[in-house]
Structure 1
Amino acid sequence: MLVPVIIMAHLDNRGGTVMATATGGRQESGGFPGIFAITTVSLLLTGLAACASQNPASDANAIQATAPPAEPGPRSRVATRDTYLVPASAQQSDYGSFSRHVNGTVGLLGIMLKTYTTDPLVRPFSTARSLGFLIKNTLIDFATQTLISMVRLPEATRTPVPPVTTGPGMNLEEWERVLDGITGSTPNTGSIEFLIDGNEYFPALIESIENADESIHLRTYIFDNDDFAIQIADLLKQRSREIDVKIMMDGIGTLTGGLATASSLPASFEPPASIAHYLRSDSEISARILTNPWFSGDHTKVTIVDRDVAFVGGMNIGREYRYDWHDLMVRVEGDVVKALARDSDDAWAKSGMFGDLAALFRYFRRPELFTPEDGYPIRILYTRAQHSQIYKAQLAAIRRARNYIYIENPYFSDDTILFELIAARRRGVDVRFVIAEKGDMMLMDMSNVQAINTMLDNGIRVYVYPEMTHVKAAIVDDWLMIGSANLDKLSMRVNSEVNLATSHPEAVRELKERLFQADFEISLELKKQLPAGPGYRLAEAVADIFL
């Protein structure tokens, strides 16, 4: 059994800083922040205790499925089996040796100390704003969830589910104008190349790093300390002697990522205790570990090379993403890269010693003028504590859908999005959802089961991907959005996230064929509900409020 602080920190890839930060024990005094933190920890411990006694694999009513044999690989491991969502505790990944737990606990305490001593001095406005919007959003979300579960959902499900319609989708030109107003953003131009799985992404990333002429700015949630991450680190260290290399990594994300051991990791490999120290050692790399004020994290995965090429999506730096998991990144070019670089520069300035002052200075600087380049419209969408463009765009698209909605996402705990998917299906929209058979966190796996059963009850087609899919992608009536954001509170409301969206026909067609149609074919479509007991409902409640 891991110590509670490490258990609660391990929300690796969904921006999981909520419980880890709450266990830091920084406040002994009373007041609402202290009560809120104590309540958070208590509820999560209760949920984890309930989860520990539940195992879907033991249920005799697991769904039978048969699929044809396929070549091994992250997208093709299907066989005759009982199908269920495998809880994280049943997988072969573990947290390594006791000494790593001790190092992790010490590292966590160091991050918490910095977060709650230095941050209020260097970033007072950001720290206070994070707390204010956390409280506000938590209260609003709780009220919304209550209204949906007690009033709106019962009303919406009184009538039978209608057949799927085949009419035209939403007007995309009108939709793009609506998005301008909803998000307060306008599209840039550029082009997108989809890189599906690590065998497409990492060779492209490595080639760009090797050929960079001026700069590499890498921003990630997790920079792991496994053997593959060390190879990337060594390449970056080598290039730092010739060009400018900056690396930003989330504090809690990188710490917990380093504690988990991929099942495919060679047993003989000994990881460095600190990846940040390893990166800085014998190199010219400027590496910063981002702090986590009030349960927030930087869940962004953006790498910018020479300010001409950017990689955006869901993959962190580590072995799981290279060899084990199904995931998605995109390589983008055009003036959209300059806009991404500007956001990266803002984050770098804010993370430095001048904090909010540097951010304020950049806010009032003269806007950069981008020369229009060849390409098609690509819109950058963000999640920030005070304004989630991603959440607003996702909800608005679902509400306007008339033809189809395809979504693939590993973590689904947002009740409002779930309700809008149900409402869309009852308008006759073809709604399909791809989710992982094997997740990496038991609490979220159990919450996913509740969401799956609700979708099945309402005519939504649910596909279980045969391994871990970490893809975050959606297509709604020929408008696509991909990036780092999960469908949970952390990604929609709390963390920093970056997504890209476009309605360019060729890009939509390629994503539909290469990702969604391929995953529909390889996945198992569920035909009846998964087994779930009272512990699953508790897990769902905890995930709805905190994750």
Structure 2
Amino acid sequence: MRTIIKRTVMAVAAVQGATLLTLVTIDMYRKRGRTPAIFPRLAPKVMTAGGSEVTVYTYGEDLYRDMLHAIHLAKREIFFETFIWKGDEVGQAFKDALIEAADRGVEVYVVFDEFANLVVPRSFFHLPPHIHVRRHPLVASGFRFPRNSGRDHRKLLVVDHDAAFVGGYNIGTLYATDWRDTHARLTGDIVWDMRNAFIDYWNLFADDKRRKALPDTGSLTWQPYIRIHRNMPRMMVYPIRGMYLEAIDRASHHVYLTHAYLIPDEDMLTALIRAARRGVDVRIIVPAESNHIVADWLSRGFYGQLLRGGVRLFLYQKAMVHAKTATIDGQWSTIGTANIDRLSLLGNYEINMEVYNSEVARQMEEVFTIDSSNSVELTLTDWQRRHAMVKFSETVLTPLRPLL
């Protein structure tokens, strides 16, 4: 019996390996012939939410222009944190701006993830000694799973007490024009919360010798309209998943999600289907072809359940949609870094803005409508007609879902 089990496991692993190799080969060939992306987008729009202002960005060039402008205006402190930081033209522009700020006396703090930037030359990250740097390590010291696990998947910028940026955009030339993503600029009361989010992460890894702790001060204002949620593996705190589940459970009219990678756990899948079955209009935009073909195929394993449950799926065309957003019932919205998958919701360092505001919700609904115009709806009938070999490959990859 042991021999039979061992051979069966080895056979399944071999089939999985062959399937993954085939998908990666197809993806490499597909990317060679990719043309520049063209997709509809909205100009940035400023909205008021309580004592704060929210500006929503859907195009990288618009966002990078305003981020760099904010850095140039900095007088005291800059907190800059990113998952991917490419050593290309856009990446160099940010590097130059941060160095220039430090040279004129601004205290500059930089965090980036080592694993996400393995393909970037190490020399690009040689920053002057008067810039404070935290490289989120490739492998954390000490075996304390899950406290020492998780990538730093956050993307944020805070300049003085004046402005903060958060959302899905990494830093690089590709993302400036060829990816459809969503980011937000925040001013007013909520900037303290964004500053605090960076300070808390930094101080988790501070010591008296190499990396001194930042001052941690309380806030004079409690923000009722916008909240910042942070997944912190070191503290075993993962509120973003709960935020989504609570919001979907409250929905009575519509739920519009846009996500780069849709690999929901059982509770998230159940919440979406239950909402649809009680009459809520649940729609999800995902990329027709993302930058991670394996993630695409793992995601497709959920399409049948979602479609049978009444959830409507829309496949974004001719560009990578990398947004991590949702808007519900014309009242609630979120923009952030967390995908609907286990890595984001129960693994990585993530940060999401949650906002209760009808004006912001209307803007997010307009973004969703424009993105829908560049999408093709996938019906259950179309999905059931896919080739038998495709169905087999999806089944073979099912055991890998918990890894993402």
Q: If the length of structure 1 is used for normalisation, what is the TM-score? A: 0.61
**Cα distance, 1:92 vs. partner?**
2.8
Question: How far apart, CA to CA, are the structure 1 residues paired with 2:176 and 2:150?
Answer: 26
For 1:266-277, list aligned pairs within 5 A. Answer: 272-277=121-126
Residues 100-155 of structure 1 show CA distances to partners (whole Å, capped at 9, x for unaligned) of xxxxxxxxxxxxxxxxxxxxxxxxxxxxxxxxxxxxxxxxxxxxxxxxxxxxxxxx
For 1:284-323, list aligned pairs within 5 A. Answer: 284-291=130-137, 292-293=139-140, 294-323=148-177
Contact 2:101–2:108 (Cα < 8 Å) also in 1: yes
1:495 aligns with one of 348, 362, 365: 348
Aligned to 1:395: 245
Aligned to 1:473: 325
Question: How far apart, CA to CA, are the structure 2 residues paired with 1:310 and 1:300?
Answer: 13
2:358 corresponds to 1:505: yes
For 1:118-517, list aligned pairs within 5 A. Answer: 189-242=51-104, 243-256=106-119, 258=120, 272-277=121-126, 279-280=127-128, 284-291=130-137, 292-293=139-140, 294-354=148-208, 368-371=218-221, 377-385=225-233, 386-415=236-265, 416-466=267-317, 467-478=319-330, 479-513=332-366, 515-517=367-369
- RMSD (Å) for aligned C-alpha atoms: 3.0
Question: How far apart, CA to CA, are the structure 2 residues paired with 1:255 and 1:441?
Answer: 16
1:91 aligns with one of 16, 19, 31: 31
Contact 1:410–1:486 (Cα < 8 Å) also in 2: yes
Where 2:225 maps in the other structure, the secondary structure is strand
**Cα distance, 1:189 vs. partner?**
4.6
**Higher RCO (C-alpha 8 Å, min separation 6):** 1
Q: 1:303 to 1:188 in 2, by over 3 A?
A: farther
Where 1:368 maps in the other structure, the secondary structure is coil
Q: 1:443 to 1:418 in 2, by over 3 A?
A: same
**Cα distance, 1:522 vs. partner?**
1.6
Residues 459-488 of structure 1 show CA distances to partners (whole Å, capped at 9, x for unaligned) of 221111111000000112231111000001
**Cα distance, 1:46 vs. partner?**
6.6
Q: 1:368 to 1:54 in 2, by over 3 A?
A: closer
Where 1:274 maps in the other structure, the secondary structure is helix
Contact 2:88–2:172 (Cα < 8 Å) also in 1: yes
**Cα distance, 1:54 vs. partner?**
5.0
Aligned to 1:111: none
For 1:524-543, list aligned pairs within 5 A. Answer: 524-527=376-379, 528-529=382-383, 530-531=386-387, 532-543=390-401
Tell me the number of residue pairs that the alignment of Structure 1 and Structure 2 aligns: 360
Contact 2:12–2:396 (Cα < 8 Å) also in 1: no
**What is the identity, as a one-letter code, of the residue corresponding to 1:489?**
R
Residues 303-338 of structure 1 show CA distances to partners (whole Å, capped at 9, x for unaligned) of 001122000001111122112110011000122111
Contact 2:76–2:160 (Cα < 8 Å) also in 1: yes
Where 1:239 maps in the other structure, the secondary structure is helix
**What is the identity, as a one-letter code, of the residue corresponding to 1:252?**
F
Runs of 4+ residues over 6 Å off in structure 1 = 42-46
**What is the identity, as a one-letter code, of the residue corresponding to 1:329?**
H
Q: 1:396 to 1:48 in 2, by over 3 A?
A: farther
Residues 481-524 of structure 1 show CA distances to partners (whole Å, capped at 9, x for unaligned) of 110000010110111111011121111111111x1010111211
Aligned to 1:14: none
Extract unaligned runs of 5+ from structure 2.
1-10, 35-48, 141-147
Question: How far apart, CA to CA, are the structure 2 residues paired with 1:456 and 1:371?
Answer: 44
**What is the identity, as a one-letter code, of the residue corresponding to 2:258?**
E
Aligned to 1:52: 21
Greater strand share, 1 or 2?
2
Question: How far apart, CA to CA, are the structure 2 residues paired with 1:229 and 1:449?
Answer: 33
Contact 1:88–1:441 (Cα < 8 Å) also in 2: no
Question: How far apart, CA to CA, are the structure 1 residues paired with 2:50 and 2:135?
Answer: 30
Question: How far apart, CA to CA, are the structure 2 residues paired with 1:434 and 1:88?
Answer: 24
**Cα distance, 1:48 vs. partner?**
4.6
**Cα distance, 1:358 vs. partner?**
7.4
Question: How far apart, CA to CA, are the structure 1 residues paired with 2:163 and 2:347?
Answer: 28
Identity %: 27
Where 2:180 maps in the other structure, the secondary structure is coil
Contact 2:328–2:361 (Cα < 8 Å) also in 1: no
Q: 1:520 to 1:205 in 2, by over 3 A?
A: same
Contact 2:164–2:186 (Cα < 8 Å) also in 1: yes
Question: How far apart, CA to CA, are the structure 2 residues paired with 1:44 and 1:195?
Answer: 43
Residues 154-178 of structure 1 show CA distances to partners (whole Å, capped at 9, x for unaligned) of xxxxxxxxxxxxxxxxxxxxxxxxx
Extract unaligned runs of 5+ from structure 1.
1-41, 58-85, 95-186, 259-271
Q: 1:358 to 1:93 in 2, by over 3 A?
A: farther
Question: How far apart, CA to CA, are the structure 1 residues paired with 2:28 and 2:327?
Answer: 28
Question: How far apart, CA to CA, are the structure 2 residues paired with 1:43 and 1:224?
Answer: 37
**Cα distance, 1:399 vs. partner?**
1.9
Question: How far apart, CA to CA, are the structure 2 residues paired with 1:383 and 1:412?
Answer: 18
Contact 1:326–1:471 (Cα < 8 Å) also in 2: yes
Residues 281-301 of structure 1 show CA distances to partners (whole Å, capped at 9, x for unaligned) of xx7322221124354111111
